[in-house]
Amino acid sequence: MEDMVATDAPARDRSATSARILRAATELLADGGFQNFGVNAVARRAGCDKQLIYRYYGGMDGLVDAIGAELTRWIEDKMPVGGHSGFLLTYGDLVEHMMMLFIRVLRGDPLMQRIIAWEMSDDTPQVRRLSEARSRALALWIEKVKGVMPPPKGIDHLALNAMLLAAVQHVVLAGAIAQRFAGLSLASDKDWDRVAQAVKRLVRGVYP
């Protein structure tokens, strides 16, 4: 038993430290973007030696990839697949369900909002790595939710879904920053009910 405890302890310490580094890096990125995002800054925030970042993640590129993986898990955890097959009778039902879910979970996660805002305002190799990871995760989520339900023929559903997701994402970010967009108030639950109804109308306009 003593040998098992001695063997498990370093593994637990490594797991806890690597998780702390990843959390610190994610929060640092959300707070200030990539301008001050580096090994020293992450190490200070995590309260660890910067050499541990190289040991556990291989450097900043590996750490950015790990954040990208966290964004993937965010989508999987916040927007789980399943439990909807009884009421999604058409592809339009499916897309409407996806958009309503995306609005709700993104509005409820300020950290993800800030990361997306930085992703949209900067263009560096690290930002592109994050953007590509999140785009892949969203595409995979859509495919999982869709299952065997085919999109309508003659409609570029990939482009349309991307445009709908982009619109939802932008409006949520505008609501978080300014509580208004293009004259539309985004301050109250009633305002967001209005947004939801507008998105549903858009969805049904393309997927009757």
Please report the pLDDT score of residue 103 as a whole number.
94
Q: List pLDDT tens digits, range 100-142.
A: 988 998 998 887 787 788 777 777 777 787 777 777 777 777 7
The second-level CATH assignment, the architecture, of 2-58 is: Orthogonal Bundle (1.10)
Nearest one of 78, 23, 14, 82 to 52, comparing CA atoms: 14
The pTM is what?
Answer: 0.72
- Give the pLDDT confidence score for residue 29 in this predicted structure: 81
Residue 197, pLDDT score:
97
CA distance 169 to 191: 16
